[in-house]
Amino acid sequence: MCGLRQWLTSTLRPMRKVYLTVIGRNDIGIIANITQTLLAYRISIHDITQKIVENNFVLFMVLECQKDLNVANLQKHLEQSTRQFSLKYMLAEEELFNSMHRI
Amino acid sequence: MTFQLSEILESISFVSLDHFDIRTVTLGLSLRDCSATTPRGLANCVYDRIMTAGSRLIPTVEEISARYNVPVANKRVAITPVSFLCDGSQEHTPLLLAKAIDRAAHELGVDFIGGFSGLLQRDITRGEMHLLNSLPEVLSQTKRLCSSFNVATSREGLNFDAIKILAQQIHEIALKTADEDAIGCAKLVVFANAVEDNPFMAGAFHGISQGDECISVGISGPGVVRQVMESLPADLPLHKIAEEIKKTSFKMTRVGELFLQECSKAMGYPPGIIDISLAPTPVPGDSVGDVLKLIGLEQVGTHGTTAALALLNDAIKKGGMMATSHVGGMSGAFIPVSEDAAMIESAKNGSLTFDKLESLTCVCSVGLDMVAIPGDTPVSTIAGILADECALGMVNHKTTGVRIIPVPGKVAGDMAYFGGLLGEAPIMEVHRESCEQLFRRGGFIPTPIQGFRN
């Protein structure tokens, strides 16, 4: 019952989508490190696409986050947890892409 | 995914590769409710008003900037023209007010505060005269305060007496800030047809018909347009180039609209306007001059430059118009000489002359901006420059402005260094033939026939 209540509470909390883009040199364990941090934040991965282009690692994720998530903090933690790799992060709320690409 | 990967990558490269930013979020603030019986009391009242209304500006803008990963280069405040507070004041009131406003700007952490301004297109009141007299002291003793004066409109004509005073004051300000290459002059603009909702400095002020507060946004991104231009074939006809610039301007303005709505909601102040401008910075690649060169010029200033700038300016406006219902301010391409690497280069090698720059201002968004001239330029010549530019605006129903810097001790070919976003400028030669007699006449130029549309 307790688990169900927790699930219901989290489901009913206002959510928003944040787009995560990661670009850098390919290495072993990048996604493992990223998802560990996302787990710590209780963030659900809504969609994921990952490719290797000429040994460059490219990752897109759509994250479903709670409305009050501090995006800047999340970015800082992601950068810290993967500082052994050379990666560049871009996190932006979905509304940015809606504004630019949809009328 | 709701968006294609190419769309996500395009948005990201706007910011991380092509220097796109929100150039400014500007809080417009009315000071019409500020009054006191003593100059000191008035200064305290103005200080309190700015500190109270602006306290949440910086944290709010920074939080929204982080959420969308789009940098906001400047946070600014624009206030009611201070001349309205100076009527009935004493001679030392403007300096007291200026210091209080500058202190408030410093304590809030905003980059600039604009509105040490007056509307002089018809005549000058005693209070406005106090304000004009205080300019050399004020602009040499404050850091963030910006000043602007409107001296002509298409409806009122051109107040040449006001231009004479301002030319003299520009000369004085230059002398007072000579050790910093006359940087005080970079904080003063002389306008024709000044707009009441301009979020850009140094000409921003909160117009007298505005409400108590509002939030305005100025966008920028010459680097983004340059990137688009670089990807186009060299033989693409001009009308197709205009189409591509329009599409890019639309996307940039949509980001501005998002920031306008979010900042407005978070601050609890109504949305003002979005200024759809291409404002360059000295950073390599963030240059309007580079875009002009990509349209097909060897150097900015050569034949064809005015046509290329007209195309660019128009396409930027058209693309932005559909992206927001709040278009305002200047909206167009800025061509400040000191802040644009390609303009600096062309002025240095002689392809961009003063006269060509003046003709470019007929089709750009503002006017002669951040132009450094020799320190020994006579006051009458400075007045002639101001009057010429304002006459262009007056007759053509256009906003034009002059931000001119006579740098003491420097001659044509030397460089003036201002630092930061203001960049550096080669000293441009001006005509040595005198306009002294025109200067001595004074008076005003009556309303042009174009002003009578009733």
Question: Containing domain of residue A42, as a range?
Answer: 14-101
> Considering only alpha carbons, which residue of chain A is nearest residue B71?
A92
DSSP H helices, chain A, are 2-12, 30-40, 71-81, 94-101
B17 to chain A, any CB pair closer than 8 A? The answer is no
d(CA B46, CA B31): 7
| Yes or no, beta carbons of A60 and B1 under 8 Å apart | yes
Q: Hey, is B447 helix, strand or coil? A: coil
Give a yes or no: residue A37 inside a domain: yes
User: Residue written as tokens 């129903």?
Assistant: B397
> Considering only alpha carbons, which residue of chain A is nearest residue B322?
A103
pLDDT above 90: percentage of residues in chain B: 81
Cβ contact B78:B28 at 8 Å: yes
Each residue of A60-81: pLDDT tens digit?
999 999 888 888 899 999 999 9
Beta bridge partners of B165: none
**Interface probe, candidates A51, A100, A102, chain B, greatest B C-beta count within 10 A:** A100
| Beta strand segments in B30-144, E | 72-79, 112-119
Both tokens of residue B372? 């450094």
Indicate the residue of A60, A75, A88 with minimum beta-carbon distance to B8: A60
Both tokens of residue B217? 């946004």
Closest CA to B98 of B66, B136, B124: B136
Full DSSP string of A64-82 = EEETT--HHHHHHHHHHHT
Which range has the worst mean pLDDT, A35-49, B143-157, B281-295, B350-364?
B281-295
Both tokens of residue B263? 């900042």
Query: What's the CATH number for B218-441?
Result: 3.20.70.20
Q: What angle do CA B210, B211, B213 make, to 5 degrees?
A: 110
| Yes or no, beta carbons of B254 and A49 under 8 Å apart | no
Does A43 score more than 90 pLDDT? yes
* Identity at B186, one-letter amino acid code: A
Helix A71-81 to helix A30-40 angle (10° resolution) is: 140
Cβ neighbors of A69 (< 8 A, separation 6 or more) are: A16, A18, A41, A43
| Yes or no, beta carbons of B7 and A93 under 8 Å apart | no
| Yes or no, beta carbons of A94 and B2 under 8 Å apart | yes
Each residue of B172-201: pLDDT tens digit?
999 999 999 999 999 999 999 999 999 999
Give a yes or no: residue A7 inside a domain: no
A16–chain B nearest CA distance, Å: 11
| Yes or no, beta carbons of B12 and A21 under 8 Å apart | yes
Q: What angle do CA A65, A100, A54 make, to 5 degrees?
A: 75
Residue extents of the structural domains in chain B: 218-441
Both tokens of residue A9? 């509470």
Q: Which residues of A touch B255 (CB under 8 A)?
A: 96, 99-100
Which range has the worst mean pLDDT, B12-16, B135-139, B342-346?
B12-16
Query: What is the domain-level CATH number for residue A46?
Result: 3.30.70.260
Interface predicted TM-score of the whole assembly (ipTM), two decimals: 0.78
Does B125 score more than 90 pLDDT? yes
- pLDDT score, position B182: 95
Full DSSP string of B366-412 = S-EEEEEEETT--HHHHHHHHHHHHHHHHHTT--EEEEEEEETT--T
Strand B271-278 and strand B332-333: the pairing is: parallel
Interface size A-B, in CB pairs within 8 Å, comes to 62
Number of domains in chain A: 1
- pLDDT score, position A2: 62
Give a yes or no: residue A82 inside a domain: yes
Each residue of B211-225: pLDDT tens digit?
999 999 999 888 889
- pLDDT score, position B102: 98
Full DSSP string of B73-125 = EEEEEEES-THHHHTT--TTHHHHHHHHHHHHHHHHT-SEEEEEEEE-SS---
The whole-number average pLDDT for the span A87-103 is 90
| pTM of the model as a whole | 0.90
